[in-house]
Structure 1
Amino acid sequence: MEAEKMKLRLDADVQKLEAERLRKGKIKAEEDLDSLKMDYKKLWLSMRTVGLGKTSE
């Protein structure tokens, strides 16, 4: 009975650690996405400044 309780506690701890790891991964992915959006915006503004974004007529 005591071993069963210990196993359940260990299982719960493993699930908590896994959830924390996934949460941190999600936060990292969101930060990376924000960084990419900023880089894209800067690149787009640079292209617009030098006229690369225009179509030829």
Structure 2
Amino acid sequence: MEEEKMNLRLDADVQKLEAERLRKGKTKADEDLDSLKTDSKKLSLSIRIVGLGKTSEQWCEEIQEEKNKSDSWERKFQEDSKFCDGIESKLEQDRGNERNDRRVRNDTAKL
């Protein structure tokens, strides 16, 4: 009978130790889960901040907008280039006319 009581006490002690080990494991798992949830929230926020959370449709729209801007700037550049070419051409023409006017004045003054 004494031996049986002792075995029961040992079994109870083993079960207590096992229960304590399981409680510690559960606590650790809960802490890890909370940490993962926190990390997940931070990651989601970071993704939204840098814009990576966009759908492919949103990315396509943004890309199209940027292409449109690029095309607009290209047209503006072409227009400005033509304008500059026209001004340079007019300047050369005016310089040529000025040279001719000087020659004519010089020739007239010599007469």
Question: Which range, TM-score by smaller chain?
Answer: over 0.9
What fraction of aligned residue pairs are identical, expressed as a percent?
84
- 4+ residue runs over 2 A deviation: none
- Structure having the larger proportion of residues in helix: 2
**TM-score calculated relative to the size of structure 1:** 0.94
How far off is 1:56 after superposition? 2.8
**Structure 2 counterpart of 1:55:** 55
Point out the structure with max Rg over C-alpha: 2
CA RMSD of aligned residues (A): 0.7
Stretches of structure 2 that go unaligned for 5 or more consecutive residues are 58-111
TM-fit CA distance, 1:2: 1.2
Q: Using structure 2 for the length normalisation, give the TM-score.
A: 0.50
Write the distance in 2 (CA, Å) between the matches of 1:56 and 1:23.
46
The total of aligned residue pairs comes to 57
Gaps of 5+ in 1: none
Match of 2:43 in 1: 43
- Of structures 1 and 2, the one with the larger relative CO (CA 8 A, separation 6+) is 1
In structure 2, give the amino acid aligned to 1:20.
E
Q: Distance in 2 between matches of 1:10 and 1:40?
A: 44
Q: Distance in 1 between matches of 2:56 and 2:25?
A: 44
